[in-house]
Chain A
Amino acid sequence: MGEFLRSIPLFWAKVLSISLYLLLALWVITRPREFIYRGAPDRKGWRDLRWWAMLLIGIQIFLYLIF
């Protein structure tokens, strides 16, 4: 098992981490609007936390692609 893991190229670590980010993005974007705005004083677009999360995930994917 250890031998097998050591033989995996580092490239796949990157693929795995980016895949996790993409899965997280998919989960975030499917959260209902009602839930996201719960407790918010209004429904302005900037309060939609899904977009905050997507921006964060986008930045992360970019960073993991370049390093």
Chain B
Amino acid sequence: MKEVLAQHIDLFLIVVYLLAIFLFGVLFREYVTSTEDYFLAGRALPWWVIGMSIIGTNIGAYDYVGAAGGAYRFGIAQANYEWLGAIPAMIVSALIIIPYYWKNKVYTVPEYLGKRYKEGVRVIEAVIYGLFLVMLLGIFFWASGIMLHTYLGWSIGFSIVITAIVVGFYTISGGLAAVAITDVVQLGIMFVGGFAVAGVGFAKAGGVAKFFQALKASHPQHLKVFLPLNNPAYPWLGMILGLGLVLSPAWWCANQSIIQRALGARSQWDARAGMMFAAFPKTLIPLLVVLPGFFALMFAPSGAINNPDQALPWVVKNFLPPGIRGLVFVAFIAALHSSVDSTLNSAATLWTKDIYQKYIKKDGSDRHYLIMGRILTFAFIVFGVAFAPFTQKFPGIYVAMQTLLSFFQGPTLATLLLGVLWWRSTGWGGFWGLSLGVVIAVVLSAAGVNFLYVAWWSFVASLLINVVVSYLTPPEPPEKLRGLVYGFLEKDQEFKRAVEERLNG
């Protein structure tokens, strides 16, 4: 009787959540009348919405499962992905990169690169990111189907369709504003669920101090943030060079899904403060993803967990009381939805602005592009649903996605950094640095190099190619670079003369 009641509570929580999220789409529909409303929330987002939406987008259900598994196997080193692998890059993004996107009023990262370098760079970046985002949707839909099937017993196909309808409805009708506001709610649910798990776990262990004492005694390596170089997943040098200096800055400075929220800010300060604010909840994410891995390690009976990725499902199924279990499950769904909606909106923005408007129909009205944005969002939902079942054919898909990311994250970061920081970097320098960098990354990966080092070396190679080609080609005219390059005004002789003349009266 108690178990049946608990199941009803869980189901009730899920239905309430789905209905509430659906209503957001209805509420936001009337505010969307232009492409700026649809893709950038009318450039009206305040810093706290941007910050929470960024983290809601960043944390997916896959991260929950994968990170808890990583913590179960390797310990607190998993938290590097949330700390060293995020916070410094978020600060740099807020203080250096975002102002350049924001003041150039761009819709997408490739659009900025196109303005700074040449159209070829924009096309390469847009196609790579556009394809990546669309593929990601299929994986997210499949993950959603698996979760609903596992916990509620719904068929996978039905679960995928329900997710597509709910997320698709509010994303198509409300655009970025609906996506950002639902992200805020979803992040709140994730943290409530995470704190509930932490509370139950620590209570079971007899307190926080006792828990960590026991963990230190039984698994001392699990409380070491850096692991030796021979560790297969998290070698310390790879974590610092590959993750800290390349993958993380590339993610936080050049990922369309992340940056798009800042582009929708109501002011430049809000755009930067939003990214900076996001770093605070990001610091706490290990509470949500690492602690469940530790609880599984300490409380699961020997042999209960054969695969580290089962750590979190084990905690949810065997560890949490009814009610809390439903809450945590809603948190998973929220994490998944917040990633699906952002990916959908960003993919539609990239394809509409960088491909359709630029190369297919250049002279359409704003209303035409708004309709096209919605049509593309719908098309991506259909594609994602159709592609989702193929995900099961690739057992290592999560690792495959990380590998795929490492193909272009290093070259993208090198191109972006030189574009923003070095006035001498030319259009051809950016073009060859980006394209050859991607080729080098693919070759390194095919040679079996760890993806962290692939990211690092492709970044270094792309940087060098960009510098060499830039010196071999004529510099860009100053009028092209104004407002696009850090400190360029100080190097602009024309501007300098104008300032001096003004000072001399």
Contact = CB atoms under 8 A, between A and B. Distances in A.
A56 interface: yes
Contact of B225 (A16, A20, A41, A64): A64
A56 B283 contact: yes
B267 interface: yes
Given A17-B226, A56-B280, A59-B283, 19 more contacts: A2-B229, A5-B237, A10-B236, A17-B84, A20-B88, A20-B240, A24-B91, A41-B269, A49-B272, A53-B95, A56-B279, A56-B283, A57-B87, A60-B83, A60-B87, A63-B79, A64-B225, A67-B76, A67-B223
B87 A6 contact: no
A47 B230 CA distance: 44
Interface string B75-86: 010010001100
The 5 closest A-B CB pairs, nearest first, are A39-B268, A39-B269, A39-B267, A40-B269, A13-B236
B229 A5 contact: yes
Interface residues of B, number: 35
B276 interface: yes
B369 interface: no
Interface of A: 2, 5-6, 10, 13-14, 16-17, 20-21, 24, 28, 31, 37-41, 47, 49, 52-53, 56-57, 59-60, 63-64, 67
A67 B224 contact: yes
A16 B240 CA distance: 9
A67 B273 CA distance: 29
Contacts of B94: 49, 53
B40 to A, nearest CB: 16
The A interface is mostly helix, strand or loop, or mixed, namely helix
B83 A6 contact: no
Contacts of B309: none
Interface string B3-46: 00000000000000000000000000000000000000000000
Nearest to A11: B226
A49 B277 CA distance: 9
Contacts of B84: 17, 60, 64
B247 to A, nearest CB: 15
B244 interface: yes
Contacts of A47: 269, 273
Nearest to A38: B268
A43 to B, nearest CB: 11
Interface string B217-237: 000000111111110000011
Nearest to A21: B88
B228 A10 contact: yes
Contact of A56 (B87, B236, B240, B269): B87
Interface string B274-305: 00110110010000000000000000000000
A57 B87 CA distance: 8
Given A49-B272, A53-B91, A57-B91, A14 B226 contact: yes
Nearest to A50: B95
Contacts of B326: none
